[in-house]
Structure 1
Amino acid sequence: MRRLFGDILVPRATTVALWAWVVFNLALVAWVGLQSLKDSGQVWLSPFALPDTIEWGNYSAAWKAAGFSAAALNSTVLTVVGSLLIVALSAPAAYVLARSDRRAAGRLTGYFAMGLSIPVQTIVIPIIVIKLSVSTFMIDWVTGWWDNRITLLVFQVVLSLPFAVFVLTGYMRSLPHEIEEAAELDGAGPLRAFVQVVLPVAKPGVMTVLILNVIGLWNETLLALLITPTPEERTLPAALLSLYGSMQYSSDWGALFAGIVILVYPMIVLYLWLGRRIVEGMTAGIGK
């Protein structure tokens, strides 16, 4: 009886805890949006009340003060290009690892999994050294100029590849071998079979990796701070930190909350819209 009671109680307690955590986060997101529509006085005096007057000017003030125009363009270009490069590189690698019978394939998959356990904070010094070396080499010996945003893009792609390859390898293993055999019977070579047959079938897993990398690259802050120090090169997270540094002295807290909304809300909407597809893609290859 005690065991039966525990088997019933534990799942219910877990469900309640998860729903409580979801409600807390949704309430926090709504609260941030509410503060972005108030002036500084209302933020401090009535933090949980509805705004007396809606201050849409907070968004224009935050946009101008932080230079969000250039930062938004940088974030958009880096996120789109970086996510597509990650998928373009990780999908073929994952397919080869999933279909190979060699022992080295298993070890390589393990190495990619090990890459997930390395925090970016532990390689800050090598990142800075490489960044300085690359820019100096390109300026002095190759092109005569260099843009740190290219370095940032390369680091974002390289550091995101272990997760992408690991997830797609598990997904590719869940695909039946019959689809390639049917393509071979139709006269398709390995490359054509991969592009025209395997990739369309693996679309849920590929889309999952693409969406997760879009969210991750959009919110990337540490690398942007390390590699792109100038205002013209910085991305939205770095611009938001700069906005915080200026707004805390002018006490324009409504504009600061508006800057948070500009950065965070697009990714929240994207995740709410495609969340089910992400979960399906993550769990389709589990146990393979």
Structure 2
Amino acid sequence: MSTTALSSSSTGSTGQPPPRRKAPRRPKPAPGTQRISPLRVIGLTVVWLFTAFNLLVLYWLIMAAFKTPLEIFREPLSLPATLFERGTPFRNFVYAWESAEFGTAFLNTVILVAVCSVVIVLVSAPAAYALSRLGVRGSGPMTAFIAIGMGVPFQTVIIPLFIAMSEIDLNNNLFGLALIYVALSLPFTVFLLTGFFRSLPDELEEAASIDGASATRTFWSIMLPLARGGLITALILNAIGLWNETLLAIVFLQENANFTLARALFTFYNAASYQSEYGGLLAGVAIIVLPMLVMYILLARRIITGLTLGAGK
């Protein structure tokens, strides 16, 4: 074929060159993903300011726990000096521990939080599995009803709870307080674990059914180990929340022998304020705050990963 024929075939029968194809249009970037976005700048600014404020408060709390009352008010952000010069840097912590009887309160809190957290997860896991995997009739409305329980402030039920617990003689009793903790923590935990069980693959359940496994055995032997990340996340979140709980402990506990750490600190506040022992008071706050802070720092990645997995499925 000649060059003329090639040129004529490329231009078409009309003698016009074929139209040039347009390049595909680039998709618009999602909001907030541009390099310079006002919303992104505002959001990052707010987050970092909030983080800086919390770090400043934490720094002030730790430094004040090693200071005398005079240093706390005159030099609130400076490093502690007087107690270190006297050779008694932990004087405030010793005073708080002995005066507030934190030894018994610490033991009560550890046992109460550990038992309640485990019981909450043990009760919530089967309930969440039944609502999300067994096709229970009305499971959708039941899950929504449980979620509504998270929106009811527990302060609104304190008086009815106090009257009910008095009728069965469970006021001023750690067992009674444990029952309240478990009951009030179930809605959040069931709702959280429902998302984890829904994220598990159906094939494993079908294979277990073909092998003749019952629903109970499938739950305990297959599904529960697979949801270990969600169970640990729920356990940690409940432990942190119960450790810091104060209002219910104030209402339902009256004897020093039954006090939790938060309840003991509330009583210690009056004595420390009367004696102007503000360093000892802040040392008591640090004794309560620091264990959970360390725990959260060590397990933050597991908590965030677990929450993201449950929300993303």
TM-score by length of 1: 0.91
Structure 1 unaligned residues grouped into runs of 5+ = 137-145
- Rg larger for: 2
SS where residue 101 of structure 1 aligns? coil
Residue 244 of structure 1 is matched in structure 2 by 269
Residue 289 of structure 2 is matched in structure 1 by 264
Equivalent of 2:233 in 192, 203, 208: 208
Deviates more, 1:194-203 or 1:212-221: 194-203
SS where residue 200 of structure 1 aligns? helix
Q: Distance in 2 between matches of 1:7 and 1:284?
A: 29
Aligned ranges for residues 93-104 of structure 1 at < 5 Å? 93-104=127-138
Q: State the 1:182 CA deviation.
A: 2.6
Q: State the 1:192 CA deviation.
A: 1.9
Q: Distance in 2 between matches of 1:222 and 1:236?
A: 12
Higher share of residues assigned helix: 1
Instruction: Check conservation: 2:130, 2:136, Cα contact below 8 A.
Output: no
Q: State the 1:206 CA deviation.
A: 0.8
CA-to-partner distance for each residue in 1:164-192, whole Å, 9 max, x for gaps? Answer: 00010111111111121233344432222
Residue 139 of structure 1 is matched in structure 2 by none
Q: State the 1:23 CA deviation.
A: 1.8
Residue 40 of structure 2 is matched in structure 1 by 11
Q: State the 1:235 CA deviation.
A: 0.6
Please say if 1:188 is aligned against 2:222: no
Structure 2 unaligned residues grouped into runs of 5+ = 1-30
Residue 155 of structure 2 is matched in structure 1 by 121
Q: Distance in 2 between matches of 1:271 and 1:172?
A: 24
Q: State the 1:100 CA deviation.
A: 3.2
Q: Distance in 1 between matches of 2:286 and 2:301?
A: 23
Q: Which has the higher contact order (CA 8 A, sep 6+)?
A: 1
- How many residues end up aligned between the 2 structures? 277
Q: State the 1:102 CA deviation.
A: 3.9
Q: Distance in 2 between matches of 1:57 and 1:256?
A: 12
Q: Distance in 2 between matches of 1:269 and 1:20?
A: 22
SS where residue 135 of structure 1 aligns? coil
Q: Distance in 1 between matches of 2:36 and 2:161?
A: 49
Residue 220 of structure 1 is matched in structure 2 by 245
Q: Distance in 2 between matches of 1:66 and 1:30?
A: 23
Equivalent of 2:69 in 33, 40, 45: 40
SS where residue 311 of structure 2 aligns? coil
Please say if 1:73 is aligned against 2:107: yes
Q: Distance in 1 between matches of 2:172 and 2:208?
A: 44
Deviates more, 1:22-31 or 1:243-252: 22-31
Task: Give the 3 Å change call, closer, same or farther, for CA 64–76 of structure 1 in structure 2.
Answer: same
Instruction: Check conservation: 2:100, 2:265, Cα contact below 8 A.
Output: yes
Instruction: Check conservation: 2:229, 2:306, Cα contact below 8 A.
Output: yes
Deviates more, 1:225-234 or 1:88-97: 225-234
Deviates more, 1:201-210 or 1:178-187: 178-187
RMSD: 1.9
TM-score by length of 2: 0.84
Instruction: Check conservation: 2:92, 2:283, Cα contact below 8 A.
Output: yes
Instruction: Check conservation: 2:173, 2:258, Cα contact below 8 A.
Output: yes
